[in-house]
Chain A
Amino acid sequence: MSSVLSLDKVPVGSGGLISAISSECDRAGRLSVLGFIPGRSLRVVRVAPLGDPISVSLDAQEISLRLTEAALIQVSVQP
C-alpha cells in the first residue's frame, strides 16, 4: 500500500516514484532538467542539521534542494 506525499514530507531513508510535479512552469522546468520527472524513482538521503535543505538521490546523482522546492514534487512512497 503506497501513499502519495510531497517530497518535503517524505521521511529520511524512504523513497518512491515521482507521481507528479506541480505545474508551476519555471521552477518545475528547472527541476525537470535535473531529472525530477514523473516516473523516476528517488530516495531522501538526509536532512541538513538545521532542518533544511534535504538531499535526495536520483539516478546516479545526489541533489540537495530546499523544502520549498521539494514541496512541488509528489512522491508515491514505497516502503
Chain B
Amino acid sequence: MKPTATIALIGNPNTGKSTLFNCLTGLRQHIANYPGITVDKKTGSMDVCGRTLEVVDLPGTYSLKAASEDERVVMDVLEGRNGARPDLLVFVVDATNIKRNLLLVSQAAELGLPAIIALNQCDAAKRNGITIEVAELSQRLGVQVIETVATRGRGVEDLKKAVCAALDHPSRLQRIEWPTCVTDSREMVRNGVRNLGGGEISDAEALRLIFDADSAHAASLPNQSQVALMIHSAREKIRAGGYSPGSVESVLHYRHIERLLDGVVASVGPVARTHESVDALLLNRFWGLLIFLGVMYVVFQSLYSWAGPLMDSVETATGWVQELVGPWLESAPTLQSLVVDGIIGGVGGVVVFMPQILILFFFIALLEDTGYMARAAFLMDKIFGWCGLNGKSFVPMLSGYACAIPGVMAARTLEDPKARLTTILMVPLMSCSARLPVYVLLIGAFIEPAYGPIVAGWALFGMHFIGIALALPIAWVVNRLYLKIKPQPFILEMPDYRVPTLRNVFFRMWERGREFVVRAGTVILAFSVLIWALLYFPRDASVEEKTRAAYVAEVSVSSTVAGVETALADPDSEQFTVLQQRIDGAYIEQSYLGRFGKWAQPVFDPAGFDWKITVGVLSSFPAREVIIATLGILYNLGAEVDEGSDDLRTVLAQEKWTEGPRMGQPVFTLPVVIGIMVFFALCAQCGATVAVVAKELNWRWAAISFFGMTALAWISAVLIYQVSGLFV
C-alpha cells in the first residue's frame, strides 16, 4: 500500500528517538543518503488506523541552527526542500530534561506544521523525582502530549492513536511572541531576500538567516555579499533592541519555556544526579583511567582474538564452497577461476569482515547505551583534541588496530563533521591485523636471527606504533590545511547511566552489518574480480609448456627424461607439485599485474625493492593479507606458505639481485626489510577500506586517503633506504 502521509520524528540526541522509531516501524526500515551529503536518511513505514504512513527519523539535534550537515538536513526536510513537507511532526522529548528538549520544539513551532509530542523516558523522570502535569502541558503547548517509555514499548499504542487523531484534526504548537526588534528585522530580511532575487522565504527561514552565524541556507541564496550585508543590518537592529544576536533566540525561547513549565513540572528538591557517585570512580584520575584501559582492552581483545575463530570459519566455509563449485566448471578453466577465485573469493572477502563489524558495534552500542561512551570521550579528549580530533576518536582508532573497516564505520559516533572526517582519514594508518604476517615473516627471517628476540619484540612494537605516531601530527596538518569546515566546540552531554536493552543493542549491530554488506560489499566484490583478472590474464598456454620444458630439461640432468615424465604424470609426486608451483609463478610473472610490477620496479628502486617485491607490493593493494601467498607463488613455493614458513624465510635470505648495479648482492638487506615493513604499515593496501571510506565520506576523500597514504609509505621506505645508504 502506498503511504498516505509522512510523519517525521524529531528531537535532541539521546532522547530515545531511534528506539521509538524501531517500535513504530519494526523492521520495515530503509536507510539511504540525503542527496549530495553523507547523512543517513532513515525511513520506515507503519500501519495505523487502516492506513500506511511513512516515518522519517531525522538526525538528533539540539536546535535548528544549521551548522553541521545533520542539522541542515532537519531544516531542509521541515521546509520541504527535499520533497514534500511532512504532514505531522512527532517531537521526541526527554522527560528527564524537559526544559532543554522543549527549546527545539519551541523553535520548530515557527514552521507552523501540525505536531504532537512523545514525552519519552517517563520511567527515568519518575525515578529522578520529576512529575509532569501532562494534561496541563498539552493545554499550554496546544498539541497532544503522550507519555512513552520507548525501551519497554509503553505508550506506543497511545502514540499511534494520537498520530491518527492528529492527522485527521491537526493542531499546531503555540508560537512564541517575538519583541518588535525581532519581528522588524525578520520582515526586513524577508523583503530583502525577495528584492535580491531569492524568492519568497518563510518566517522560520528568515529567522534562521538572522540567528545563525553561518547559516547553510544563506550560502544557497543569490547575491551572497548583499544578503550578508542585509543580515548584518538585521542583527544590528536586534542589538539596538537590547539583545545579543547570537543568543537572543535561546534567551527568548527559554524565557517562554520557563513560563510554560511553571506549575507543570515539579521536582523533589534539587535533582539528585544518580550518576555522580559512579562518576567519582569512573572519572577518577587513577581508577578512571585504569578502568578505561581495562574496558578498551576487552573491546580490543574481542576484536583481535575473539573474532579470529569466526573469521577462520568464514574462510573455511569459503574454501568449502570453492571446492564444491570448482569441479562443476572443470571444463571451462577461465570461468572456473573467475567464479572460484574472483567471485566466491570476493564474497568471502566481504563476509569475512562481518564478525569484527558485528562485535565492534555490539560493544559500541553497549558503551553508548550505558552512557560510558561520553565518559570515555571525556577522559581521552585532551590527547586527541590538539590535532583536530576529539575524545570520541579513541574507539575508532583502537578498532583500527584490529581492522580499519569497523573502525572507519565507528567514526559515525563523532557528531562533529570535521573531527569525524579527520578520524576516518587516520584510522587506516593504525596497524591492522592483516599487516602482522608481513612483520612476522620479515622480523622472523632477518631481525630475530641477527639481533635476538628482544630487538625483534621492539621491532614488532615499533611497527605498531609508527602509524599512530604519524597519524596525530598528520591530523594536525590536515586540519590546518583544510579549513573549510569550521571547528565546532566539543560539547558533550553526560547522560545518566542506564541499563542497556539487548533488543536495542542487537538491532544496532544488525543495522550496521546490513549497511556494510549493502553499501560497501558490492564495491569490494567488484575490486576482487578486477584484481583476479589482472593476475590471471593473459593466459597463454605456451607459458605452461615453456616452464614444463625447462623443468624437464633441468631435472633430467640427474635422471632420465622418461623417468621425469612418469613422475610428472603422477599428481602426488614431488616433481608434479614443484612444476605446478613454477607454472603458477611463471603465469603471475607475465600477468598484467606482474608485467606492471616489472615495469614499475624503477619507481620502487630508490627504496631498494626488486621486481618481485614490487609485484608483491602492487598485488597487495586490493588486500594486503595476500602478500604472503603472492610471495609464495613468486618464489615458486606455492600459495600455501604462511608467515612462519622456514622455506620462505630461507629463500628470501638467499635472494640476490640478478641484474643492474647491485647484481650478486642480497636483495633483503636490513634497510630494505625495514623499508618493506614500514611501507606495509603506512600504505593504503586495502580495497575494502577505500570502499568504506568512499561510502562513509565520498570518492574524493577516498582518493585523497589512498594517494596520501601511498605517497607517505613510499617516501618513508625511500628515506629509510637512502639515509641508511649514507652510513654503510
Contact = CB atoms under 8 A, between A and B. Distances in A.
A57 to B, nearest CB: 7
Q: Which of A25, A33, A48 has the most C-beta atoms of chain B within 10 angstroms of its own C-beta?
A: A33
B63 interface: yes
Interface in A55-79: 55, 57, 59-66, 68-69
A55 B214 contact: no
Nearest to B382: A50
A33 B244 contact: no
Interface string B258-280: 00000000010001010110010
Given A35-B100, A62-B493, A66-B490, A57 B65 contact: no
A26 B213 contact: yes
Contacts of A34: 62, 100, 491, 493
A65 B279 contact: no
A28 interface: yes
Given A25-B246, A59-B99, A30 B489 contact: yes
Contacts, number: 133
B22 to A, nearest CB: 25
A23 B246 contact: yes
Contacts of A52: 381-382, 385
A37 B214 contact: no
A33 B213 contact: no
Interface stretch (B155-163, B247-255, B359-367): B247-255
Interface stretch (B282-290, B347-355, B551-559, B593-601): B282-290
Contact size class for B?
35 or more
Interface string A32-58: 111101100000011011111101010
Contact size class for A?
35 or more
A35 B100 CA distance: 7
B132 to A, nearest CB: 12
Nearest to B279: A46
Contacts of A24: 246
B244 A28 contact: yes
A31 interface: yes
Contact of B289 (A30, A49, A69): A49
Q: Which of B96, B130, B273, B383 has the most C-beta atoms of chain A within 10 angstroms of its own C-beta?
A: B273
Given A34-B100, A59-B97, A29 B211 contact: yes
Given A33-B250, A35-B99, A48-B381, 16 more contacts: A21-B244, A24-B246, A25-B213, A26-B214, A29-B213, A29-B246, A33-B63, A35-B100, A46-B283, A50-B381, A60-B97, A64-B378, A66-B489, A68-B489, A69-B490, A69-B491
21 contacts: A21-B246, A24-B246, A28-B246, A29-B213, A30-B489, A32-B249, A33-B103, A34-B491, A37-B247, A49-B285, A49-B286, A50-B381, A52-B385, A53-B381, A53-B382, A59-B100, A60-B96, A60-B98, A61-B493, A65-B491, A69-B490
